[in-house]
Amino acid sequence: MHEGLLSLSDREFSLFQRLIFERAGISMGPAKRALIAGRLTKRLKALGLGSFADYHAYLTQRGNEGELQQAVDLLTTNETYFFREPKHFDFLREQILPKANTTRPLRIWSAACSSGEEVYTLAMVLAEHHAGAWEILGSDISQRVLAQARSAHYPIDRAEDIAPALLKKYCLKGIGAQQGSFLVDKPLRSKVRFESINLNEPLPRVGEFDVIFLRNVMIYFDMATKREVVERLVAQLRPGGYFIVSHSESLNGVTEILRVVSPSIYRKP
């Protein structure tokens, strides 16, 4: 395929802006043009297509849902790491867990869990500091990152923010062919589950939660999408439950149901 055909025209850019917004609720401005072209070029080559317009037409044909999911995976930013924004885990340990009801399992939802680091961070905190039963749901729209999350297998450099004692207790260091990686241990893995959930569509039956984490995803949504997503999630939050967003995000103007506990931490009355 000729290199000139890899350029993304204004019309093609608009097509993919609309596609990712309709599919994932993500608003991609002009600054994301190079990202779209760069991440999708290899799919055009793999399919032998001559332009991004041809690829868009292919994605919207019936029967090509698998390729559409792959395109969404490529365009969805999935940056995460263990113990990211640690003050939230401090709050969980110091404020939420000591007062938690232990007559039933404590339920936490990591609603944009990417490759699973947030879920396993939560699992380590609960295993260390919660006396009762607990369970964690991790969800994401991307099948690709969910596959890694379920594997619980990560490069060793991803462990740099895990305290040595926790790393020793809950992770297995790779040896031989697996050197340079680590695996979250099976007892911890058995307490978490992962589901493919699109937050921009009606939610499946997932039950009620005591804490919902929705961090570092709303920055990609416009205000209308933020309101719709938060409304869906808050409906799954128990009265008295906590809703936690990134330090760079706010629910100001997004919902009137939740009350601010501290910046980025909210509670349902």
CB atoms within 10 A of CB 194: 21
**Is residue 6 over pLDDT 80?**
no
Residues 96 and 152 both lie in one domain: yes
Nearest alpha-carbon partner for 211 in 168, 258, 247, 165: 258
Q: What is the pLDDT of residue 1?
A: 38
Residues 50 and 71 both lie in one domain: yes
Residues 261 and 180 both lie in one domain: yes
**Is residue 4 over pLDDT 60?**
no
In a domain, 82, yes or no: no
Residue ending a domain, among 54, 75, 96, is 75
In a domain, 80, yes or no: no
Q: What sign does the CA torsion over 92, 93, 94, 95 have?
A: positive
Residues 71 and 146 both lie in one domain: no
Q: What is the pLDDT of residue 214?
A: 97
Question: Among 17-26, 112-121, 257-266, which stretch is predicted with the lowest mean pLDDT?
Answer: 17-26
- What residues does 195 pair with on adjacent strands? 139
- Name the catalytic one among 33, 39, 43, 193: 39
Q: What sign does the CA torsion over 241, 246, 252, 255 have?
A: negative
Residue ending a domain, among 47, 75, 103, is 75
Residue ending a domain, among 75, 109, 129, is 75
Q: Could you tell me the residue range of the domain that residue 165 belongs to?
A: 87-267
In a domain, 34, yes or no: yes
Q: What is the C-alpha to C-alpha distance for residues 3 and 54, in angstroms, rounded to an integer?
A: 15
Tell me if 237 sits within 8 A of 267, measured CB to CB: no
Number of structural domains in the chain? 2
Q: What is the C-alpha to C-alpha distance for residues 154 and 173, in angstroms, rounded to an integer?
A: 10
- Name the catalytic one among 23, 73, 107, 140: 140
Q: What is the pLDDT of residue 2?
A: 40
Per-residue pLDDT of 183-238, as tens digits, reads 999 999 999 999 999 999 999 999 999 999 999 888 888 899 999 999 999 999 99
Active site residue 140: yes
Q: What is the pLDDT of residue 30?
A: 87
Phi, psi (5° rounding) for residue 244?
Answer: -120, 125
Residues 48 and 106 both lie in one domain: no
Q: What is the pLDDT of residue 78?
A: 66
Per-residue pLDDT of 79-96, as tens digits, reads 789 999 999 999 999 999
Tell me if 59 sits within 8 A of 67, measured CB to CB: yes
Reported as a pLDDT band with limits 50, 70 and 90, residue 42 is confident
Reported as a pLDDT band with limits 50, 70 and 90, residue 33 is confident
Of these ranges, 20-34, 36-50, 228-242, the one predicted with the greatest mean pLDDT is 228-242
Q: What is the C-alpha to C-alpha distance for residues 161 and 5, in angstroms, rounded to an integer?
A: 43
List the CATH number of the domain containing 26.
1.10.155.10
Residues 10 and 30 both lie in one domain: yes
Residues 153 and 208 both lie in one domain: yes
- Of residues 144 and 139, which shows the higher confidence score? 139
In a domain, 164, yes or no: yes
pTM, full prediction: 0.84
Residues 126 and 253 both lie in one domain: yes
Residues 70 and 105 both lie in one domain: no
Residues 119 and 71 both lie in one domain: no
- For residues 176-182, give the mean pLDDT: 93
Q: What is the pLDDT of residue 77?
A: 65
Residues 137 and 243 both lie in one domain: yes
List the CATH number of the domain containing 191.
3.40.50.150
Q: What is the mean pLDDT of the chain?
A: 92
Using DSSP, state whether 239 is helix, strand or coil.
strand
**Is residue 3 over pLDDT 60?**
no
Question: Among 63-77, 116-130, 132-146, which stretch is predicted with the lowest mean pLDDT?
Answer: 63-77
Q: What is the pLDDT of residue 31?
A: 83
Residues 220 and 141 both lie in one domain: yes
Active site residue 39: yes
Nearest alpha-carbon partner for 220 in 116, 62, 113, 78: 78
To the nearest whole percent, how much of the chain has pLDDT over 70?
Answer: 97
The DSSP H or E segment spanning 140 is strand 134-140
Q: What is the pLDDT of residue 223?
A: 93
